[in-house]
Amino acid sequence: MSGNDAKILLDLNYPEFQSELFDLDISEVKKVFKTFKKLKAMTWNEVFRDHGLRWEEPKSSPGKYTIRLSQSYRAVVLREGSWMRFQTLHLDHDGAYGKK
């Protein structure tokens, strides 16, 4: 099985990401965890093709990617093999892209 056909493993242990996640209100937490559950069942190829997740590489941050976790929130992630490592969580679209 090639790397893009492997099931995704989620790493939610980055301290900054955890702090931001734990600060969400309960309704937003439910939406974000629904996306985590969806991601856990997907392969990398499925993530790349999923229009709702909007996997993108910002020009300002090569090697980092943004992914939609809910209508309101995007996350900045790294890909390391099968792992999707969550780095930060952003309410605004520009924050996820390193803009002010």
Taking only the tens place, the pLDDT of each residue in 30-56 is 999 999 999 999 999 999 999 999 999
- The confidence band for 71, taking pLDDT boundaries of 50, 70 and 90, is very high
Of the candidates 57, 95, 58, which has an alpha carbon nearest to the alpha carbon of residue 74? 95
Q: Domain 3-90 classified CATH 3.40.50.300?
A: no
How far is residue 1's CA from residue 78's CA, in Å, rounded to a whole number?
21
Domain boundaries, the chain: 3-90
Q: Of 58, 88, 51, nearest to 73 (Cα)?
A: 88
Query: What's at 89, amino acid-wise?
Result: L
Task: Give φ, ψ of 57 to 5 degrees.
Answer: -105, 110
How many C-beta atoms lie closer than 10 Å to residue 40's C-beta? 12
